Structure 1
């Protein structure tokens, strides 16, 4: 195993983490922005108003994108495990 292989594996891991977390983070960012905008306009500063919509949005994203996320992670882990013999040599 040389340095180039280690760097490639690390880069692939970071890219996979970014790709899998992007849907959840993106939706949470949009929902948080909309709730903050609503709170600023109406001057309602209720903590549950900020928490509940984010929770519902996260559950919805995991329900919709969860199978894709799981399949992507399983495929990445499968490729990584299959690459172990070539890394040892």
Structure 2
């Protein structure tokens, strides 16, 4: 295994993490912005108000996108195992 192989695997690992976590992070950001907008309009500055809807939205998003996340991790695992099988 040389440096190029290690960099390829590291790049694939980082990309897998970014793609797999993307839906949950995007939903958390959108829900956070929406709640901040509502708080700004109503002038209710309660810090705990943002946590419950954001957590619920993230759980629902993860439940819905679980097959996509699993497929991304499976693709990465197959890539690593094929590199191991071919002897790098």
Runs of 4+ in 1 over 2 A off after TM superposition: 85-88
CA displacement, residues 29-84 of structure 1 (integer Å, 9 cap, x when unaligned)? 01001111111111111233111110111011011101210122123113212311
Identify unmatched segments of 5+ residues in structure 1. Answer: none
Give distance in 2, aligned partners of 1:25 and 1:47: 20
Partner of residue 57, structure 2? 57
The root-mean-square deviation of aligned C-alpha atoms, in Å, is 1.4
TM-score (normalizing by structure 2)? 0.89
May I ask how many residue pairs the two structures share in their alignment?
A: 88
TM-score (normalizing by structure 1)? 0.88
2:36 equivalent to 1:36:
yes
